[in-house]
Amino acid sequence: AQKITQTQPGMFVQEKEAVTLDCTYDTSDPSYGLFWYKQPSSGEMIFLIYQGSYDQQNATEGRYSLNFQKARKSANLVISASQLGDSAMYFCAMREGSNTDKLIFGTGTRLQVFP
């Protein structure tokens, strides 16, 4: 079974609108961390936001927020007021348990923002 599932290979959104990128995860470990990274066409991976499994509130970072639904094992990224520069690949990732450093990535969602 996939540890991280991103079911949307591509998404379109109009500038200034909000968009939700889906991510579900699979783990039996009670301790885990969830991350979102942005990969623009230039290739680098940019950290956006983090949510811990024990966090009581949804994480927010500027225009990014994470809709964390623990019972459903989902950690959807919400981008508000989309900008043309938000066009990129977005990857959801998980660090599973407290004894590992590795991030497990999903297959990504390509977001295109149009004027």
- By the criterion CB under 8 A, which residues form the site for other proteins? 31-33, 35, 37, 42-47, 50, 52, 91, 93, 95, 97-98, 100-108
Task: State the minimum distance, in angstroms, from the CB of residue 106 to other proteins.
Answer: 6
- 3-state SS class at 85: helix
Task: State the minimum distance, in angstroms, from the CB of residue 14 to other proteins.
Answer: 27
Q: d(Cα 69, Cα 77) in Å, to the nearest integer?
A: 11
With respect to other proteins, which residue has the nearer C-beta, 24 or 33? 33
Q: d(Cα 43, Cα 46) in Å, to the nearest integer?
A: 9
Task: State the minimum distance, in angstroms, from the CB of residue 1 to other proteins.
Answer: 15
Q: d(Cα 56, Cα 3) in Å, to the nearest integer?
A: 22
With respect to other proteins, which residue has the nearer C-beta, 68 or 91? 91
Task: State the minimum distance, in angstroms, from the CB of residue 103 to other proteins.
Answer: 6
Contact 35, 83 (CB under 8 A): no
With respect to other proteins, which residue has the nearer C-beta, 67 or 97? 97
Contact 95, 35 (CB under 8 A): yes
